[in-house]
Amino acid sequence: MPTITNHMPTAELQALDAAHHMHPFSTQDGFRKKGARVIRSAEGVWLTDSEGHRILDGMAGLWCVNIGYGRTELADVAARQMRELPYYNTFFQTTHVPAIALSAKLAELAPGDLNHVFFAGSGSEANDTNLRMVRHYWSSLGKPEKSVVISRLNAYHGSTLGGASLGGMIPMHEQGGLPIPDIHHIGQPNWWAEGGDMTPEEFGIARARELEAAIEEIGEDRIAAFIAEPFQGAGGVIIPPDSYWPEIKRILEGRDILLIADEVICGFGRTGNWFGSQTLGIQPDIMTIAKGLSSGYQPIGGSIVSSKVAKVLAEDEFNHGYTYSGHPVAAAVALENLRIMEEERVIDHVRDVAAPYLREKWESLTEHPLVGEAKIVGLMGSIALTPDKASRAAFAAPAGTAGFITRERCFANNLIMRHVYDRMIIAPPLVIRPEEIDILIERAWQSLDESMARLKEEGLL
Quick check: 271 and 376 in contact, CB under 8 A? no
Burial class from Cβ neighbours inside 10 Å (0-12, 13-18, 19+) for residue 22 reads exposed
Q: With H, G, I as helix, E, B as strand and everything else as coil, classify residue 120.
A: strand
Q: Is 378 in the site for ligand PMP (CB under 6 A)?
A: no
In the chain, what are the helix, strand and coil shares in percent, each to the nearest 5? Answer: 45, 15, 40
Q: Is 203 in the site for ligand PMP (CB under 6 A)?
A: no
Q: Using alpha carbons, list the distances in angstroms from residue 323 to 120, 121, 124, 128.
A: 9, 9, 15, 15
Letters for 280-319 (x = contact with ligand PMP by CB under 6 A, - = none) are: --------x-x----------x------------------
Backbone angles phi, psi at 223, to 5 degrees: -100, 125
Q: Which residues pair with 286 in a beta bridge?
A: 260, 305
- Which range touches ligand PMP (CB under 6 A), out of 33-41, 157-165, 311-319, 401-409? 157-165
- Which range touches ligand PMP (CB under 6 A), out of 120-128, 170-178, 246-254, 359-367? 120-128
- What burial letters (b/e) apply to 271-296, b meaning 16+ CB within 10 Å? bbbbbbbbbbebebbbbbbbbbbbbb
Q: Is 128 in the site for ligand PMP (CB under 6 A)?
A: no
**What residue type is 448 in one-letter code?**
L
Nearer to ligand PMP, 245 or 395 (CB): 245
Closest among 202, 168, 171 to 183, alpha carbons compared: 168
Letters for 52-91 (x = contact with ligand PMP by CB under 6 A, - = none) are: ----------x-----------------------------
Burial class from Cβ neighbours inside 10 Å (0-12, 13-18, 19+) for residue 92 reads exposed
**What gap in Å lies between CA 354 and CA 217, rounded to an integer?**
44
Q: Is 264 in the site for ligand PMP (CB under 6 A)?
A: yes
Q: Is 158 in the site for ligand PMP (CB under 6 A)?
A: yes
Nearer to ligand PMP, 158 or 179 (CB): 158
Q: Is 124 in the site for ligand PMP (CB under 6 A)?
A: yes
Binder of ligand PMP out of 57, 229, 336, 436 (CB under 6 A): 229
Nearer to ligand PMP, 265 or 425 (CB): 265
Q: Nearest distance from residue 55's CB to ligand PMP, in Å? A: 20
Q: Nearest distance from residue 322's CB to ligand PMP, in Å? A: 12
Quick check: 371 and 461 in contact, CB under 8 A? no
Nearer to ligand PMP, 166 or 252 (CB): 166
Nearer to ligand PMP, 333 or 371 (CB): 333
Binder of ligand PMP out of 233, 276, 372, 387 (CB under 6 A): 233
**What gap in Å lies between CA 288 and CA 119, rounded to an integer?**
10
Q: Which residues in this chain contact ligand PMP in the complex, by CB under 6 A?
A: 62, 122-124, 127, 156-158, 163, 229, 233-234, 262, 264-265, 288, 290, 301
